[in-house]
């Protein structure tokens, strides 16, 4: 996935079409993240100003949702489902093996590759499931998710 | 003449190679100068047979599966375009026992049609229900839905008709229909598959709901983990708009209905209906206290129907075929069909739609074929992360709302997850508490703090520290969570924990298994 680097001008362009949305804060944060890969500090003030809400409100929403991040997205993101159905077919072992192979810890921030826990992709009959850069992988293995 | 070949575009099928299979079928056809038309249908629900390739022959649709990319050239060599013999040949799709044993009502078009062809949709019975609805009064539609006995498929099982009646009877300048497509439960994918395979059915169901209660705006709250479903539904909404199904005049009637997809942001508790409303309003997904009921003061304070995808997608068939036909299925107060999802460590996983009242044993053995690993089946979790764990001596339970409750569990969204004898139920109980701690909206102390304490306490039991005392403490904690939580997140997390303790006491004796 390719993202633009943060700029207020581009962020303003992202937010402009959302001006008429009822209850815009979450959508605005999602749109910013979609464009830049994360929510830059300055986006909070910009969203607050654009939609006439308090910074505290925007910040509250930003910190509530697991999807939203405040550090730049890594080059590569490996999400591994660690929910029950995938546990039953070895997702715990898969996580350990991927951590070992990449020398990274799950749910830590890195700039090159991140391994993140996910809770269900709706692929529970073909688990373990993973998503690599937005691509769903069934019957996931170390080889498949690090290929 | 061109031969029609169906290759699913379902995200689960794609996750194991359906796109490559489709591309190779197309390439090989060109190489062999054969005329084929590939239609990307949704999955028919037999995920264990994916990629399931179907060829349309004079004898009907003939199935091959599970097809791997490397099988494609041998399929051509076996004349699969004419239904030729091949090790992966399964015969007529409809006659495969796994499908023939089902009763597809809500899912009747799933996997059969091209998901984005409105023409295909209509030629398979689509829009019949909505066309009927626009000639009826709101109370007639609501009466039909009530008479069908349809209950919410999102988890709580509340009668849909009663909810709709409240919205109908509440006067307001604006009403909404919100579809809960957050489908956060592990082991469930019925909403996803329906949206990917037959999105117009959901659109039709929501439009009928809107027409019934006088709502003009609708939202589908769809989880971000489902990118394919998001795109598919948005495309379908555009098509429905251009065709006049949605918009200022629904099928030429005086009813207006506009529909929009809103994407979730990775919060499980946002599947709780009032947290979903908060999230739709752009706020933190914190659960609201009830009253007021969302049916009276819901989205932006207006009367709002909130239903699960499968609840809404069941409505077109109810209107088209009549409430009586729907209510003739099922048992007791669990009427109609349930779209069960077989998942986890299972040989033949996927969608089983059948009348309520099938036994768990039939589901997991006859349909599911037991565990994937071939090792003994040890535990079954029914109803998602807030559902109970059953052991293998409890397989005779009837799968309906009341029987499952009587057996100490719940149906939830109909997910059935199998575990073989590798499972450690103390670990599963600990996970239930950890998940609650992670996803708690934070509004009530028993849920927010109790879950963390619960996970710690189970860890102590696992490590053999003061086992009897810690088990008592855990039961106390469970009681506090059950009694002192505002919503089912904190209120039902004790269900997997206590059922694990009751049904697998040997896993709670200290001394870690592995
Ligand atoms: C923690 C929690 C998560 C829930 N998640 C979902 C969900 O993902 N999808 C859903 O339809 N209902 C979910 N529900 C149930 C909803 O609150 C609500 O009962 C349902 O959407 C109503 O629709 P129905 O009557 O058609 O089932 C959840 C409830 C709780 C407490
Ligand atoms: S039980 Fe948990 S999730 Fe539900 S309202 Fe209370 S704190 Fe929030
Ligand atoms: S539990 Fe892993 S995809 Fe559903």
Per-residue model confidence as pLDDT tens digits over B16-28? 999 999 999 999 9
- State the average pLDDT over residues A74-81: 96
- Find the B169 Cα to ligand 3 centroid distance in Å: 40
Instruction: Show me where the domains of chain B are located.
Output: 3-100, 118-327, 330-420, 425-508
Domain interval for residue A122: 76-146
CA distance linking residue B298 with residue B164, whole number of Å: 13
Beta pairing class for B330-331 and B334-335 = antiparallel
Q: Provide the angle, in degrees to the nearest 10, between the axes of the packed helices B467-484 and B494-503.
A: 140
What CATH number has the domain spanning B330-420? Answer: 3.10.20.600
pLDDT of B514 reads 44
Same-domain pairing of A92 and A37: no
Test the B interface: residue of A65, A80, A85, A128 with most B CBs within 10 Å: A85
Decide: residue B505, CB within 10 A, 0-12 exposed, 13-18 middle, 19+ buried: exposed
Q: Which fold has domain B3-100?
A: Glutaredoxin (3.40.30)
From B155, B288, B413, the mutation candidate for ligand 1 (largest count of ligand atoms within 8 A of CB) is B155
- State the average pLDDT over residues B351-366: 98
User: Do residues A26 and B282 touch, judged by C-beta distance below 8 A?
Assistant: yes
Same-domain pairing of A53 and A102: no
Same-domain pairing of A54 and A18: yes
Which residues in chain A are closer than 8 Å to B225, comparing Cβ atoms?
118, 120-122, 131
Same-domain pairing of A56 and A102: no
Q: Which fold has domain B118-327?
A: Rossmann fold (3.40.50)
Q: Which fold has domain B425-508?
A: de novo design (two linked rop proteins) (1.20.1440)
Decide: residue A103, CB within 10 A, 0-12 exposed, 13-18 middle, 19+ buried: exposed
Number of compact structural domains in chain A = 2
Beta pairing class for A135-137 and A130-132 = antiparallel
Chain B contact present for A23, CB below 8 A: yes
Residue B309 pLDDT greater than 70, yes or no: yes
- Find the B386 Cα to ligand 3 centroid distance in Å: 15
Confidence of residue A1 (pLDDT cuts 50, 70, 90): low
- State the average pLDDT over residues A88-104: 98
CATH code assigned at A111: 3.40.30.10
Chain B contact present for A30, CB below 8 A: yes
Residue A139 to chain B, least CA–CA distance (Å): 7
In a domain, A20, yes or no: yes
CA distance linking residue B417 with residue B388, whole number of Å: 11
From B288, B290, B481, B485, the mutation candidate for ligand 2 (largest count of ligand atoms within 8 A of CB) is B485
User: Do residues B269 and B439 touch, judged by C-beta distance below 8 A?
Assistant: yes
User: Do residues B348 and B368 touch, judged by C-beta distance below 8 A?
Assistant: yes
User: Do residues B236 and B115 touch, judged by C-beta distance below 8 A?
Assistant: yes
Whose atoms come closest to the Cα of B289: which ligand? 2
B225·A120 Cβ contact <8 A: yes
Task: Dump pLDDT digits (tens) for B44-60.
Answer: 999 999 999 999 999 99
- Find the B486 Cα to ligand 2 centroid distance in Å: 6
In a domain, A115, yes or no: yes
Confidence of residue B512 (pLDDT cuts 50, 70, 90): low
| Ligand 2 binding pocket includes B240 (Cβ within 6 Å) | no
A30·B265 Cβ contact <8 A: yes
Residue A77 to chain B, least CA–CA distance (Å): 14
| Ligand 2 binding pocket includes B486 (Cβ within 6 Å) | yes
| Ligand 3 binding pocket includes A132 (Cβ within 6 Å) | no
Structure tokens at B83: 């239904």
What HEC string does B240-306 produce?
Answer: HHHCCCCECCHHHCCCCEEEEEEECCCCHHHHCHHHHHHHHCCCCCCCCCCCCCCCCCCHHHCCEEE
Mean pLDDT for chain B? 97
Strand partners, B4: B37
Residue B324 pLDDT greater than 70, yes or no: yes
Q: Is A21 helix (H, G, I), strand (E, B) or coil?
A: coil
Kindly identify which residue of chain B lies nearest to residue A91, measuring between CA atoms. B344
Closest Cβ opposite residue A122 in set B183, B280, B285: B183
- Length of chain A (residues): 147
Whose atoms come closest to the Cα of A84: which ligand? 3
CB neighbour list of residue B231: distance below 8 Å, 6 or more residues apart: none
Which residues in chain B are closer than 8 Å to A83, comparing Cβ atoms?
186-187, 385, 435
Task: Dump pLDDT digits (tens) for B266-295.
Answer: 999 999 999 999 999 999 999 999 999 999
Helices (H), ranges, B309-424: 309-321, 323-327, 360-361, 401-406
Same-domain pairing of A91 and A123: yes
User: Please, which residues 325-364 of chain B have a Cβ atom closer than 8 Å to chain A?
Assistant: 341-346, 349-350
Strand partners, B379: B391, B419
Whose atoms come closest to the Cα of B223: which ligand? 1
Task: Dump pLDDT digits (tens) for A12-54.
Answer: 999 999 999 999 999 999 999 999 999 999 999 999 999 999 9
User: Do residues A94 and A127 touch, judged by C-beta distance below 8 A?
Assistant: no
User: Please, which residues 360-389 of chain B have a Cβ atom closer than 8 Å to chain A?
Assistant: 372-373, 381, 385
CA distance linking residue B96 with residue B116, whole number of Å: 26
B267·A139 Cβ contact <8 A: no
- State the average pLDDT over residues B222-242: 98
Same-domain pairing of A83 and A140: yes
Residue B513 pLDDT greater than 60, yes or no: no
Element at B92 (helix H, strand E): strand B89-92
pLDDT of B510 reads 87
Indicate the residue among A64, A84, A104 that finishes a domain.
Answer: A64
- Find the B271 Cα to ligand 3 centroid distance in Å: 16
In a domain, A2, yes or no: no
Same-domain pairing of A52 and A113: no
* C-alpha dist (Å) from residue B383 to A140, B186, B388, B410, B472: 24, 9, 7, 6, 26
């Amino acid at each position: 996935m390719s993202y633009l680097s943060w700029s207020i001008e581009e962020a303003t362009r992202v937010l402009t079409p959302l001006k008429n949305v009822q209850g815009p804060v979450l959508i605005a944060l999602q749109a910013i993240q979609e464009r830049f890969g994360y929510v830059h500090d300055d986006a909070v003030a910009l969203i607050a100003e654009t939609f006439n809400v308090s910074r505290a409100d925007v910040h509250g929403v930003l910190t509530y949702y697991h999807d939203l991040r405040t550090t730049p997205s890594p080059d590569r993101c490996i999400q591994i489902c660690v929910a029950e159905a995938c546990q039953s077919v070895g997702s715990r072992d898969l996580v350990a093996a991927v951590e070992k192979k990449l020398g990274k810890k799950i749910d830590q921030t890195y700039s090159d590759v991140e391994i993140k826990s996910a809770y269900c992709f709706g692929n529970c009959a073909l688990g373990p499931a993973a998503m690599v850069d937005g691509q769903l992988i069934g019957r996931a293995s170390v080889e498949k998710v690090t290929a | 003449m061109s031969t029609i070949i169906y290759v699913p575009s379902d995200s689960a099928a794609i996750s194991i190679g359906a796109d490559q299979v489709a591309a190779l079928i197309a390439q090989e056809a060109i190489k062999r100068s054969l005329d084929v038309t590939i239609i990307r249908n949704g999955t028919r629900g037999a995920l264990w047979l994916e990629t399931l390739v179907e060829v349309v022959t004079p004898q009907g649709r003939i199935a091959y599966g599970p097809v791997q990319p490397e099988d494609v050239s041998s399929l051509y060599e076996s004349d699969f375009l004419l239904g030729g013999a091949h090790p992966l040949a399964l015969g007529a799709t409809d006659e495969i026992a796994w499908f023939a044993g089902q009763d597809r009502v809500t899912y009747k078009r799933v996997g059969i049609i091209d998901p984005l062809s409105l023409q295909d949709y209509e030629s398979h019975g689509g829009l019949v229900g909505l066309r009927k609805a626009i000639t009826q009064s709101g109370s007639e539609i609501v009466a039909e839905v009530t008479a069908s006995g349809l209950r919410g498929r999102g988890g709580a099982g509340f009668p849909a008709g009663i909810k709709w009646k409240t919205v109908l009877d509440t006067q307001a300048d604006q009403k909404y229909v919100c579809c809960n497509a957050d489908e956060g439960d592990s082991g469930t994918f019925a909403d996803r598959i329906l949206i990917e395979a037959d999105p117009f059915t959901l659109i039709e169901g929501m439009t009928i709901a809107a027409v019934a209660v006088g709502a003009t705006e609708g939202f589908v709250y769809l989880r971000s983990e489902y990118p394919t479903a998001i795109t598919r539904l948005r495309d379908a909404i555009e098509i429905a708009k251009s065709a006049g199904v949605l918009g200022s005049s629904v099928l030429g009637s005086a009813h207006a209905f506009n529909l929009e997809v809103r994407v979730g942001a990775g919060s499980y508790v946002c599947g709780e209906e009032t947290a979903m409303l908060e999230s739709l309003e752009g706020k933190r997904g914190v659960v609201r206290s009830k009253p007021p009921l969302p049916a009276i003061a819901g989205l932006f304070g207006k009367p709002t129907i909130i239903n699960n995808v499968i609840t809404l997608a069941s409505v077109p068939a109810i209107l088209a075929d009549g409430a009586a036909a729907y209510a003739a299925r099922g048992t007791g107060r669990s009427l109609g069909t349930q779209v069960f999802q077989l998942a986890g460590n299972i040989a033949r996983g996927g969608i089983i739609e059948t009348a309520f009242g099938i036994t768990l044993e039939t589901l997991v053995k006859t349909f599911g074929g037991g565990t994937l690993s071939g090792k003994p089946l040890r535990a079954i979790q029914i109803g998602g992360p807030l559902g109970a764990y059953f052991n293998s001596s409890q397989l005779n339970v009837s799968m309906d709302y009341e029987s499952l409750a009587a057996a100490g569990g719940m149906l939830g969204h109909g997910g059935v997850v199998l575990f073989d004898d590798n499972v450690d139920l103390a670990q599963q109980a600990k996970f239930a508490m950890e998940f609650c701690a992670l996803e708690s909206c934070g509004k009530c102390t028993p849920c927010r703090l109790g879950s963390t304490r619960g996970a710690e306490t189970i860890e102590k039991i696992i490590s053999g520290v003061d086992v009897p005392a810690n088990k008592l403490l855990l039961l106390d904690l469970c009681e506090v969570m059950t009694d002192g939580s505002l919503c089912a997140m904190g209120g039902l997390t004790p269900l997997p924990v206590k059922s694990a303790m009751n049904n697998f006491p040997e896993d709670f004796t200290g001394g870690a298994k592995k």
